[in-house]
Amino acid sequence: MSNLLNSLDGINVLRDLFPNNDSFVQHVLCNILFFDNGIVRHQAMQVQQRIEQGFATPVRYTSNGHFYHQREVKKVTPSFKSKQEAVKFTKDNPLFHKETGIRICFDKDGNYYPKQAILQYTGHRVSWGKNISTITNYIIAHIWGETDNPFYFGLLWNYCLIPAPYAFLTDKNDTTNVLIKRVKDLIKAVSIELYNPNALMNNKISVEMPLKEALTEAEHLIGEDKIRFLTTKK
């Protein structure tokens, strides 16, 4: 067992339940829920069609200045006093993502649209509350950050459902523990192997690539049917 008195790393409390790092990482990955490839592709196509038709695409609110408001011939970066003010603004006014030029609207609570997308395409309610959720103690996690980018925020290829005891792993900095980067890289690698996000989004994005070793490991896990999927609720 790890010497907790020396390391004082809480991750070891979980890690020490397993014989080695590999078995721990595989246990975590094999209990994460991904989405059926057909559903992912159908949703990506529908989202891109709505973008082309000029509908506002949801993103998570941020005050980093990645958006602009077109005022006559001048592009203006708006300033909001609160998220609520920003959400209301995009309900009534066009706001655009600087990098892509896509019209956006701000998600009202930061996770409302992901919950709606999962419900629409799988029939499941995740994080809807104790008496409404059909899946409990799983956390919706974005695989790549980029939550202010309309090509990333609302797409199922960029979500997975992580069991609550392990959800903290994806929120930590890669440098805090070697296991953090392994888990995060492997989640990204599974998404890439399953969905090929760059091609899925018609090469309008370029996702950050994990280590080659993670891609190889993800390929093996998928080939051995060890990756779990959220089944559609009937």
- What SS3 class is residue 40? helix
**What mean pLDDT is predicted for residues 91-98?**
88
- CA-CA distance, 124 to 121, in Å (whole number)? 8
The DSSP annotation for 119-168 comes to HHHHS--BSS-TTT-SB-SEEEEESS--TTSTTTTT-GGGEEEEEGGGGG
From the list 196, 230, 191, the residue with the least C-alpha distance to 214 is 191
**234 has a pLDDT exceeding 90:** no
Q: 162 forms bridges with which residues in the sheet?
A: 139
Given this model, what pLDDT does residue 197 score? Answer: 97
At 148-187, the pLDDT tens digits run: 999 999 999 999 999 999 998 988 888 888 899 999 999 9
**What mean pLDDT is predicted for residues 6-34?**
89
What are the sequence ranges of the domains in the chain?
A: 4-60+107-230
At 28-82, the pLDDT tens digits run: 999 999 999 999 999 999 999 999 999 999 999 887 778 888 755 668 888 888 8
| Residue 224 pLDDT level (bands cut at 50, 70, 90) | very high
- CA-CA distance, 3 to 180, in Å (whole number)? 19
Given this model, what pLDDT does residue 5 score? Answer: 45
Amino acid symbol at 4? L
Tell if the pTM clears 0.75, that is, is over it.
Answer: yes
Given this model, what pLDDT does residue 68 score? Answer: 86
| Residue 23 pLDDT level (bands cut at 50, 70, 90) | very high
Look-up: residue for tokens 């030029």? 101
At 99-151, the pLDDT tens digits run: 899 999 999 888 899 999 999 999 999 888 778 888 899 999 999 988 999 99
Given this model, what pLDDT does residue 71 score? Answer: 57
